[in-house]
A and B are shown apart, each in its own frame.
Chain A
Amino acid sequence: MGIHGLTKLLSDEAPNCMKEVDLDSLTGRKVAVDASMAMYQFLIAVRSGGEGQSQMLTNEAGEVTSHIQGMFNRTIRMLSKGVKPCYIFDGKPPQLKGGELAKRTAKRAKAEAELKVATEADDKNDVDKFSKRLVRVTRDHNEDCKKLLSLMGVPVVTAPSEAEAQCAALAREGVVYGTATEDMDALTFQTPKLLRRMTFSGSNQPILEVDYQKLLQGLELSHEKFVDLCVLCGCDYTGSIKGIGPKKALALVRQHGTIEEIIKHLDAKKYPVPDDWLEPAERAERRKQARQEAKARKEARAKEEAKVKAETANPEAVSEEDVQQKEGDSDSDKAKADTPDHGVSVAKEAADVSAKRERETEDAAESEQEMDDTPPMYRQARGLFLKPEVEPAGEYKLKWTDPDEPGLIKFLVEEKGFNAERVASGIVKLKGARKNVSQKRMDSFFSVIPNPNAGAKKPAPKAKAGAKGKAGGKKR
């Protein structure tokens, strides 16, 4: 998920872009929430069953309700704090994500197998661990949540493709303040603000706000370079170069600017660039080379075989020679010249046949490969980050309305088997929260300006310490 190692890189290299903010400071803000991320969290975290917490919440019919429960409560908590959430659901995953998705499916299959083992061994911890790994957000979960949210009067948007990209687009156009997700991708999609830990749980844990502009300043990169950095670090859409971690990637991007340049300057032996990162021509070249090497190897092998064959053939030739020599010296020269050739040509013929066969198969492969003119994967991934498939924000009318009380009761209590009293108290809170939502913020009337007195800040701490000593001395 997200960009590999980016969080740590940012806290090391651009600490200024991250700040912990109070829950209160988001009052009156509109925030785009990555719904898939939220649902996934609920399915993992909202569980019952005591100690191991291995059971997801279910209703009488056995349907999972963790996500509904979580979504209902968190949304109410957000609204009570005066935050207006707008949930963005994933659309069709981009083609490039196929690899990543396949990997996840494989992981899930593995977890499933391990879960079986753990269940048989009755190891509660492991059962818990692996059953959490099996969690997956399905279409039904999505539909449940969309229905719930629209009944609650909260706007829901289905992105054409990736939800983070759509969130970022809404934030960039100023429709919302920022993107609430744990996924660092949102930054690569240029969300002006990324809000992490937007759980609004009772613990009052502060929210981590990442400011995109400050991030670029801190890393000293342009947006395009930052995207390349993210691709190098490892994103959801393509593999990366082995041996290059976030730190190295940052150094390389700073030095060379683009992945194209980096690849040119990279020590190919130390950091092998994956095939699908090469230009089609280079890729063909590399394949050709590989084929040639393979061919050379085969030929070498064939030659060796031929040699062996020739050696076995030679004794005959020698005997022939002898005969010929006996027959006449005048002929012997010719025969001498002839026979070795003959031996080789036999071997050659054998080699030729096998080589021909190989070449035939290779030719088939070659023609297939020559068709492969897909641009390098990193460029595709970059394209996806720079021009993601999103709807312009103007397409959406985000409206927060009063909750549909009978609708909610019908859906939650009758259909999903929730406790009627709890739902009722939730609705009361929801209605109360509606009032908070109307509170405006100061900065929606007065614009932020640089502090006219900012120049009056104190100098470096060292000087301060000295001054303090002096001041103290004077007084005493």
Chain B
Amino acid sequence: MYEARLLQASLLKKIIEAVRELVTDANLDCSESGISMQAMDSSHVSLCALMIRSDGFQHYRCDRSLSLGLSTGSISKILKCAGNDDTVTLKAEDTADALTIMFESPKQDRISDFELKLMDIDSEHLGIPKTEYNCIIQMPSAEFARIMRDLQVIGDTCTIACDKDGVNFSVSGDMGKGNIMVRNNTSVDKEEDKVTVTMEEPVTLKFALRYLSLFAKATPLGPTVTISMTPDNPVVVEYPIDTFGYVRYYLAPKIDEADE
């Protein structure tokens, strides 16, 4: 028996929307400690890791670890049926071939439940080593989303260069070049508007903008985003889920043959 009750259905909706376009099918791994998910896009260029710890749920019961294979498109459609203030409960029998999703309105006067068929997804699981990152940038998530949107107009490859003064996002394409510099800025009123760069050594890496802008779909999850880079390694773009989880995206860099 598996049962997880989350106060805000909207939060689950945001989480699913954050991964839906990147990953079409994924296994939700439910265990005692919480719900986690790891999946790659179809090109195996990026990886999305999700964690919602059990303490984030109002009620959480997991008798036996379960792996629920879901189509992210389908669950997103079902979640659209939830009101913004509804609570959501995920239920599954230990041997279930379907996941039951139940929505309850705040006044308990409307209860809807949906059953979503599960799939058997054969996916590769990657072991992600603990890495010390040379540069860690924390910035407002909306700002990051905007930069990605703006740069995509110019080209498809973004160079992220980080040094002690700030971060430089640059792109070049057929029609021209673009460059957006974000400076270290800690003297703002609101904590979440801060831009902080924690750096040991400057790092410059190139990435496909297409994926970075897909990552920005997680912006509604919270006001800040953390970008961690280390040379010749995937970048990590992390959006915290409140205090009890995260959505992390990893993206493999572009490395020119000559640089190898």
Contacts and interface: CB of A to CB of B under 8 A. Distances in A.
Interface stretch (A108-116, A318-326, A381-389, A463-471): A463-471
B123 to A, nearest CB: 8
Interface stretch (B126-134, B143-151, B221-229): B126-134
A470 B94 CA distance: 12
Nearest to A447: B127
A452 B157 CA distance: 34
A442 B234 contact: yes
B64 interface: yes
Contact of A442 (B27, B44, B65, B98): B44
A67 B100 CA distance: 56
B40 A442 contact: yes
Interface of B: 27, 29-31, 36, 40, 42-47, 64-67, 93-98, 100, 113, 118, 120, 123-129, 156-157, 206, 208, 233-234, 250, 252-257
A463 B254 contact: no
A459 B124 CA distance: 20
Given A438-B255, A464-B97, A468-B98, A27 B125 contact: no
Nearest to A464: B97
A459 B234 CA distance: 36
B126 A463 contact: no
Contacts of A95: none
The 9 A-B pairs with the shortest beta carbon distances in the complex, nearest first, are A456-B65, A451-B125, A449-B127, A27-B43, A453-B29, A446-B126, A440-B252, A464-B97, A467-B95
A260 to B, nearest CB: 39
Contact of A456 (B64, B124, B127): B64
Nearest to A26: B43
Nearest to B257: A400
B127 A463 contact: no
Nearest to A459: B95
A25 interface: yes
A47 to B, nearest CB: 33
Give the interface residue-count category, chain A: 35 or more
A437 B67 CA distance: 35
11 contacts: A25-B42, A435-B254, A439-B254, A446-B128, A446-B234, A458-B66, A458-B67, A463-B95, A466-B95, A467-B93, A471-B96
Contacts of B208: 439
A444 to B, nearest CB: 7
Contacts of A82: 43
Given A24-B43, A446-B129, A475-B113, A453 B156 contact: no
A441 B45 contact: yes
A339 to B, nearest CB: 93
A315 interface: no
Nearest to A19: B122
B59 to A, nearest CB: 18
Interface of A: 22, 24-25, 27-28, 82, 399-401, 435, 437-459, 461, 463-468, 470-471, 475
A401 B126 CA distance: 31
B44 A467 contact: no
A6 B124 CA distance: 28
A336 to B, nearest CB: 95
Contact of B255 (A440, A442, A463, A470): A440
Contacts of A471: 93, 96, 98, 100
Contact of B65 (A401, A455, A461, A467): A455
Given A27-B44, A456-B66, A448 B124 contact: yes
Contacts of A467: 93-97
Nearest to A453: B29
B67 A453 contact: yes
Contacts of A456: 29-31, 64-67
A183 B100 CA distance: 47
A452 B49 CA distance: 14
B231 to A, nearest CB: 12
A442 B250 contact: yes
Nearest to B66: A456
Contacts of B120: 457-458
Contacts of A449: 125-127
Nearest to B95: A467
Given A438-B255, A453-B27, A25 B129 contact: no
Contacts of B65: 453, 455-456
A463 B127 CA distance: 32
Contacts of A439: 43, 45, 208, 252, 254
A475 B47 CA distance: 37
Given A435-B156, A454-B67, A25 B27 contact: no
A468 B31 contact: no
A438 B94 CA distance: 44
A442 B95 contact: no
Contacts of B255: 438, 440
Contacts of B96: 458, 464, 467-468, 471
A475 B234 contact: no
Contacts of B45: 27-28, 439-442
A29 to B, nearest CB: 9
Given A22-B42, A27-B44, A27-B45, A448 B125 contact: yes
A458 B95 contact: yes
Contact of A453 (B31, B97, B113, B233): B31
Given A24-B43, A467-B95, 16 more contacts: A401-B257, A441-B43, A442-B40, A446-B129, A446-B250, A447-B126, A451-B27, A451-B29, A452-B125, A453-B67, A458-B66, A463-B95, A464-B97, A467-B93, A467-B97, A471-B100
A27 B41 CA distance: 11
Given A441-B44, A456-B31, A470 B93 contact: yes
Given A24-B43, A458-B118, A441 B67 contact: no
A79 to B, nearest CB: 12
A298 B47 CA distance: 81
Nearest to B30: A456
Most buried by A among B36, B47, B95, B98: B95
Contact of B252 (A435, A442, A448): A442
Contacts of A463: 95
Contacts of A435: 156-157, 254
Contacts of A466: 95
Given A440-B253, A448-B124, A465 B129 contact: no
Most buried by A among B44, B64, B233: B44
A116 B93 CA distance: 71
